[in-house]
Structure 1
């Protein structure tokens, strides 16, 4: 926030009435709030766009991984079927996949919770600085 002394001399401010000073304060406050809101919206939009693109790329990668895992699963069942019966080989491989998948899902859920909400941190810091400046000058 720019201090009034940087734009106008103290003598010029002394010439203004209380009503004029309050009107200026109100106008500057409205301008500041609108500016901070615009900045916050822009920051959230940018983060949302980046997250959407990243999720799309990750989705394609996961789909390809799924196809690869399907192939390896079929190969594991076929290989294990040489040692035990086919149905038992399918059960063993399926159980292993469920355990690994459960662990991966739990880790992913914990990491996803750490990312939410996408706070516009720059704007939050700016607003905190504005509030501190206003408190200092009151």
Structure 2
């Protein structure tokens, strides 16, 4: 039985033309490529979902931090109001937050000035690739 199967497979191989073999290989490569793309899409979707959940948690942590600062500021106003008028206590706490905000603004502005929106290295690489494509021997 096994020799009959071997002879049938050999006869089938002999009947198959090179064109048919190339067509089969091309079809298999296309199928493999589509499957790899689908796998990549699935992985990216899963990672994006995880990143979205993490971003939501960061947002929640930021809001919680804001609430902590708000209530600490309120506690500072109430604590200072024991030794001075409540209006002056609120003004002092507000002034402290104004200074903190101004310092953070200046630091952010200085850092933003160092940002280059144009990807210099990528542009240079693309220029080199274009030059090589025009003159590949050099």
TM-score range, shorter chain: 0.5 to 0.7
Report the counterpart of residue 69 of structure 1 in structure 2.
69
Give the TM-score of the pair, scaled to structure 2: 0.52
SS in structure 1 at match of 2:28? helix
For residues 26-49 of structure 1, what are the alpha-carbon distances to aligned partners after superposition, in whole Å with 9 as ceiling and x for unaligned?
Answer: 111111111111111011011011
Residue 44 (str. 1) matches residue 57 (str. 2): no
Paired residue total? 97
Matched ranges for 1:1-138 at <5 A: 15=14, 16-77=16-77, 79=79, 85-86=88-89, 88-98=91-101, 102=105
The structure with more radius of gyration: 2
SS in structure 2 at match of 1:50? helix
Give the TM-score of the pair, scaled to structure 1: 0.52
Instruction: Tell me: higher relative CO, structure 1 or 2? Use CA pairs within 8 A at least 6 residues apart.
Output: 1
CA distance in structure 1 between the aligned counterparts of 2:97 and 2:38, rounded to whole angstroms: 51
Structure 1: segments with no counterpart, 5+ residues: 1-10, 110-138
Bigger mean CA offset, 51-60 vs 93-102: 93-102
